[in-house]
Amino acid sequence: MADFGADVELEDFRAEAAAWLKANFPAALAGKAAMSTDRAGTGDIAKWRKAIGEKGWATPTWPAEYGGGGLSPAQARVLAQEMAKIGAFNPLMFGMGVTMIGPTIMDYGTDVQKKTHLPPIIRGEVQWCVGYSEPGAGSDLASLQTKAVDNGNGWTINGQKTWTSGAQYSDWCGCLVRTDPSAKKHDGISFMLIDMHQKEIETRPIALIAGASPFCETFFTDAKAPKDALLGQLNVGWTVGKRLLQHERASQTGASMGGRAVSLDQIAKNYVELDAGGRIADLDLRTRLTRHLMDAKVHGLTLARAMAEAKGNADPGNAPSVLKNSATNVAQTRAELTLEIFGHQGLGWEGAEFTREELETVRGWLGGKAMSIYGGSSEIQNNIISKRILGLPDNTQST
Out of 248, 273, 358, 360, pick the active-site residue.
248
Q: Exposed, middle or buried: residue 99 (CB in 10 Å: 0-12, 13-18, 19+)?
A: buried
Which of 176, 198, 194 is closest to 185 using CA atoms? 176
Residue 3 CB neighbour total at 10 angstroms: 9
Going from the C-alpha of 163 to that of each of 65, 158, 169, 285, the distances in angstroms are 34, 17, 14, 36
Interacting residues of 88 by C-beta distance below 8 A, sequence separation 6+: 21, 25, 29, 30, 82, 258, 259
**In contact, 103 and 199? CB cutoff 8 Å:** no
Maximum pairwise Cα distance, the chain: 77
Q: Tell me how long the chain is.
A: 399
Backbone φ/ψ region at 38: left (φ over 0), alpha (ψ -120 to 50), beta: beta
H-helix or E-strand containing 160?
Answer: strand 154-162
> Half-sphere exposure of 46 toward its Cβ, with a 13 Å CA cutoff?
4
How, if at all, do strands 189-195 and 172-178 pair?
antiparallel
248 is a catalytic site residue: yes
- Number of Cβ atoms within 10 Å of the Cβ of 196: 22
User: Are the CB atoms for 62 and 121 separated by under 8 Å?
Assistant: no
CB 177 within 8 A of CB 141: no
Would you say 66 and 125 are in contact if contact means Cβ atoms under 8 Å apart?
no
- 3-class SS of residue 32: coil
Catalytic (active-site) positions: 248
